[in-house]
Amino acid sequence: MDERSIGKRIEEMISDGVDIIDMGAYSSRPGASDVAMDEELSRLRMGMKILRSIDSSITVSIDTFRAKVAKSAVEEMGADIINDISGGNLDDEMFEVVSRLGVPYILMHMRGTPETMQQMCDYHDVTADVIKDLSEKLRKLHLLGVSDVIVDPGFGFSKTIEQNFEIMKHLDSFSVLDSPLLVGVSRKSMITKTLGITADEALAGTVALGAIALTRGASILRVHDVKSAVESVRLYELSTL
Protein backbone atom coordinates (compact mmCIF):
# COMPACT_ATOMS: atom_id res chain seq x y z
CA MET A 1 0.00 0.00 0.00
CA ASP A 2 1.19 3.56 -0.70
CA GLU A 3 1.09 6.36 1.88
CA ARG A 4 -2.23 7.74 0.65
CA SER A 5 -3.91 4.32 0.84
CA ILE A 6 -2.51 3.69 4.32
CA GLY A 7 -3.77 7.06 5.53
CA LYS A 8 -7.23 6.48 4.07
CA ARG A 9 -7.46 3.06 5.69
CA ILE A 10 -6.43 4.44 9.09
CA GLU A 11 -9.02 7.23 8.84
CA GLU A 12 -11.73 4.69 7.96
CA MET A 13 -10.91 2.49 10.95
CA ILE A 14 -10.93 5.42 13.36
CA SER A 15 -14.22 6.69 11.93
CA ASP A 16 -15.72 3.21 12.32
CA GLY A 17 -14.84 3.13 16.03
CA VAL A 18 -11.66 1.06 16.27
CA ASP A 19 -10.16 0.77 19.77
CA ILE A 20 -6.71 -0.56 18.85
CA ILE A 21 -4.96 -0.37 15.48
CA ASP A 22 -2.71 -3.37 14.86
CA MET A 23 0.14 -2.46 12.53
CA GLY A 24 2.38 -5.06 10.94
CA ALA A 25 5.01 -5.11 8.21
CA TYR A 26 5.58 -8.86 7.96
CA SER A 27 2.89 -11.02 6.37
CA SER A 28 1.88 -13.95 8.57
CA ARG A 29 -0.30 -15.68 5.99
CA PRO A 30 0.40 -19.40 5.51
CA GLY A 31 3.41 -19.77 3.22
CA ALA A 32 4.39 -16.11 3.50
CA SER A 33 7.99 -15.38 2.58
CA ASP A 34 10.57 -13.77 4.87
CA VAL A 35 10.96 -10.00 5.23
CA ALA A 36 14.33 -8.59 6.25
CA MET A 37 14.43 -6.76 9.58
CA ASP A 38 15.56 -3.47 8.03
CA GLU A 39 12.66 -3.61 5.60
CA GLU A 40 10.20 -4.42 8.39
CA LEU A 41 11.43 -1.43 10.40
CA SER A 42 11.30 0.88 7.38
CA ARG A 43 7.70 -0.08 6.65
CA LEU A 44 6.67 0.34 10.29
CA ARG A 45 8.31 3.77 10.55
CA MET A 46 6.36 4.95 7.52
CA GLY A 47 3.08 3.50 8.80
CA MET A 48 3.49 4.91 12.31
CA LYS A 49 4.40 8.35 10.97
CA ILE A 50 1.21 8.42 8.93
CA LEU A 51 -0.91 7.07 11.78
CA ARG A 52 0.38 9.54 14.37
CA SER A 53 -0.12 12.43 11.95
CA ILE A 54 -3.81 11.46 11.79
CA ASP A 55 -4.35 10.56 15.46
CA SER A 56 -1.68 10.93 18.13
CA SER A 57 -3.69 9.24 20.87
CA ILE A 58 -5.08 6.02 19.36
CA THR A 59 -3.71 2.84 20.92
CA VAL A 60 -1.36 0.98 18.56
CA SER A 61 -0.15 -2.60 18.71
CA ILE A 62 2.81 -3.68 16.64
CA ASP A 63 2.62 -7.10 15.00
CA THR A 64 6.16 -8.45 15.14
CA PHE A 65 8.03 -11.49 16.43
CA ARG A 66 11.40 -9.71 16.49
CA ALA A 67 12.61 -8.29 19.81
CA LYS A 68 14.67 -5.52 18.18
CA VAL A 69 11.68 -4.42 16.11
CA ALA A 70 9.50 -4.45 19.23
CA LYS A 71 12.04 -2.30 21.08
CA SER A 72 12.27 0.24 18.26
CA ALA A 73 8.51 0.31 17.80
CA VAL A 74 7.91 1.23 21.45
CA GLU A 75 10.91 3.44 22.22
CA GLU A 76 11.31 5.16 18.85
CA MET A 77 7.87 5.03 17.22
CA GLY A 78 5.60 5.27 20.25
CA ALA A 79 3.77 1.95 19.97
CA ASP A 80 1.69 0.84 22.96
CA ILE A 81 1.40 -2.97 22.69
CA ILE A 82 3.50 -5.78 21.22
CA ASN A 83 1.59 -8.47 19.31
CA ASP A 84 3.84 -11.52 18.82
CA ILE A 85 2.36 -14.22 16.58
CA SER A 86 5.13 -16.62 17.58
CA GLY A 87 4.61 -16.32 21.33
CA GLY A 88 8.35 -15.85 21.80
CA ASN A 89 9.30 -18.91 19.74
CA LEU A 90 11.08 -17.03 16.96
CA ASP A 91 13.19 -14.69 19.09
CA ASP A 92 14.64 -15.81 22.42
CA GLU A 93 15.06 -12.20 23.53
CA MET A 94 11.41 -11.19 23.12
CA PHE A 95 10.19 -11.93 26.65
CA GLU A 96 13.07 -10.05 28.29
CA VAL A 97 12.64 -7.08 25.94
CA VAL A 98 8.92 -6.88 26.66
CA SER A 99 9.70 -7.00 30.36
CA ARG A 100 12.07 -4.05 30.03
CA LEU A 101 9.66 -2.09 27.83
CA GLY A 102 6.81 -2.46 30.33
CA VAL A 103 4.07 -2.61 27.69
CA PRO A 104 1.21 -5.10 27.27
CA TYR A 105 2.09 -8.22 25.31
CA ILE A 106 -0.15 -10.33 23.10
CA LEU A 107 0.96 -13.95 23.45
CA MET A 108 -0.27 -15.99 20.48
CA HIS A 109 0.04 -19.72 19.92
CA MET A 110 1.83 -20.85 16.80
CA ARG A 111 4.26 -23.59 15.84
CA GLY A 112 7.06 -23.10 13.32
CA THR A 113 7.09 -20.07 11.02
CA PRO A 114 4.51 -18.65 8.59
CA GLU A 115 6.27 -20.71 5.91
CA THR A 116 6.16 -24.01 7.81
CA MET A 117 3.33 -23.73 10.35
CA GLN A 118 0.72 -25.67 8.37
CA GLN A 119 3.01 -28.69 8.45
CA MET A 120 2.91 -28.70 12.26
CA CYS A 121 -0.70 -29.53 13.13
CA ASP A 122 -0.22 -32.77 15.07
CA TYR A 123 -1.87 -32.50 18.51
CA HIS A 124 -3.07 -34.98 21.12
CA ASP A 125 -5.91 -32.62 22.11
CA VAL A 126 -5.64 -29.31 20.30
CA THR A 127 -7.42 -27.17 22.91
CA ALA A 128 -5.61 -28.71 25.88
CA ASP A 129 -2.25 -28.61 24.09
CA VAL A 130 -2.64 -24.93 23.15
CA ILE A 131 -3.68 -24.00 26.68
CA LYS A 132 -0.70 -25.91 28.11
CA ASP A 133 1.74 -24.11 25.81
CA LEU A 134 0.29 -20.69 26.61
CA SER A 135 0.25 -21.48 30.34
CA GLU A 136 3.95 -22.39 30.36
CA LYS A 137 4.84 -19.18 28.57
CA LEU A 138 2.65 -17.11 30.88
CA ARG A 139 4.64 -18.46 33.83
CA LYS A 140 7.91 -17.43 32.17
CA LEU A 141 6.54 -13.95 31.47
CA HIS A 142 5.24 -13.53 35.01
CA LEU A 143 8.65 -14.52 36.42
CA LEU A 144 10.14 -11.71 34.33
CA GLY A 145 7.62 -9.26 35.74
CA VAL A 146 5.34 -9.11 32.71
CA SER A 147 1.83 -9.09 34.15
CA ASP A 148 -0.21 -7.43 31.37
CA VAL A 149 -0.54 -10.34 28.93
CA ILE A 150 -3.32 -10.98 26.42
CA VAL A 151 -3.60 -14.54 25.12
CA ASP A 152 -4.53 -15.52 21.57
CA PRO A 153 -5.23 -19.18 20.60
CA GLY A 154 -3.91 -18.48 17.11
CA PHE A 155 -6.78 -19.48 14.85
CA GLY A 156 -5.38 -20.56 11.49
CA PHE A 157 -1.79 -20.79 12.73
CA SER A 158 -0.45 -24.36 12.72
CA LYS A 159 -4.00 -25.65 12.95
CA THR A 160 -6.32 -27.38 10.51
CA ILE A 161 -9.81 -26.09 9.82
CA GLU A 162 -11.24 -28.84 12.00
CA GLN A 163 -8.88 -27.93 14.83
CA ASN A 164 -9.89 -24.27 14.57
CA PHE A 165 -13.53 -25.21 15.11
CA GLU A 166 -12.56 -27.54 17.95
CA ILE A 167 -10.89 -24.63 19.72
CA MET A 168 -13.89 -22.39 19.06
CA LYS A 169 -16.20 -25.02 20.61
CA HIS A 170 -14.09 -25.03 23.78
CA LEU A 171 -13.04 -21.38 23.81
CA ASP A 172 -14.37 -20.87 27.33
CA SER A 173 -11.69 -23.32 28.53
CA PHE A 174 -9.11 -20.55 28.04
CA SER A 175 -10.52 -18.78 31.11
CA VAL A 176 -8.21 -21.05 33.15
CA LEU A 177 -5.33 -18.83 31.98
CA ASP A 178 -6.84 -15.83 33.81
CA SER A 179 -5.83 -13.44 31.03
CA PRO A 180 -7.80 -11.35 28.53
CA LEU A 181 -8.57 -13.44 25.44
CA LEU A 182 -8.06 -12.15 21.89
CA VAL A 183 -9.72 -13.92 18.97
CA GLY A 184 -8.78 -13.34 15.34
CA VAL A 185 -10.87 -15.22 12.78
CA SER A 186 -11.61 -12.39 10.36
CA ARG A 187 -11.82 -13.63 6.74
CA LYS A 188 -9.76 -16.72 7.57
CA SER A 189 -9.83 -20.07 5.78
CA MET A 190 -11.95 -21.69 8.51
CA ILE A 191 -14.71 -19.48 7.07
CA THR A 192 -13.86 -19.32 3.38
CA LYS A 193 -12.97 -22.97 2.84
CA THR A 194 -15.85 -24.23 4.96
CA LEU A 195 -18.40 -22.13 3.06
CA GLY A 196 -16.71 -22.23 -0.35
CA ILE A 197 -16.42 -18.46 -0.61
CA THR A 198 -13.71 -15.83 -1.07
CA ALA A 199 -12.25 -13.66 1.68
CA ASP A 200 -14.21 -10.70 0.28
CA GLU A 201 -17.42 -12.68 0.86
CA ALA A 202 -16.58 -13.67 4.43
CA LEU A 203 -18.07 -10.75 6.37
CA ALA A 204 -21.17 -12.62 7.59
CA GLY A 205 -19.09 -15.61 8.69
CA THR A 206 -16.62 -13.33 10.45
CA VAL A 207 -19.39 -11.55 12.37
CA ALA A 208 -21.02 -14.86 13.30
CA LEU A 209 -17.84 -16.41 14.69
CA GLY A 210 -16.92 -13.15 16.41
CA ALA A 211 -20.27 -13.12 18.21
CA ILE A 212 -19.81 -16.75 19.24
CA ALA A 213 -16.34 -15.90 20.55
CA LEU A 214 -17.77 -13.07 22.67
CA THR A 215 -20.26 -15.44 24.29
CA ARG A 216 -17.37 -17.79 25.14
CA GLY A 217 -15.09 -15.30 26.83
CA ALA A 218 -13.30 -13.26 24.15
CA SER A 219 -12.35 -9.76 25.30
CA ILE A 220 -10.83 -8.50 22.04
CA LEU A 221 -11.75 -9.20 18.42
CA ARG A 222 -9.05 -8.70 15.79
CA VAL A 223 -10.88 -7.82 12.57
CA HIS A 224 -10.65 -6.26 9.15
CA ASP A 225 -14.21 -4.88 9.12
CA VAL A 226 -14.27 -2.53 12.09
CA LYS A 227 -17.79 -1.09 11.72
CA SER A 228 -19.45 -4.52 11.68
CA ALA A 229 -17.43 -5.68 14.68
CA VAL A 230 -18.23 -2.53 16.68
CA GLU A 231 -21.94 -2.99 15.96
CA SER A 232 -21.77 -6.65 16.92
CA VAL A 233 -20.01 -5.88 20.21
CA ARG A 234 -22.53 -3.15 21.05
CA LEU A 235 -25.49 -5.48 20.50
CA TYR A 236 -23.78 -8.22 22.50
CA GLU A 237 -23.17 -5.88 25.44
CA LEU A 238 -26.74 -4.59 25.40
CA SER A 239 -28.02 -8.16 25.40
CA THR A 240 -25.82 -9.51 28.17
CA LEU A 241 -24.55 -6.78 30.49
Reduce the DSSP state of residue 28 to 3 states and report it.
Answer: coil
Set 188, 193, 216, 234: catalytic member: 188
Burial of 230 (0-12, 13-18, 19+ CB in 10 A): middle
Q: Let me know if 188 is a catalytic residue.
A: yes
Compute CA distances 81 → 11, 173, 178, 222, 238, whole Å: 20, 25, 19, 14, 28
Find the DSSP H helices in the chain. Answer: 3-16, 37-54, 67-75, 94-101, 126-143, 161-169, 189-195, 203-215, 226-240
Catalytic-labelled residue, pool 66, 71, 187, 222:
222
Active site residues: 188, 222
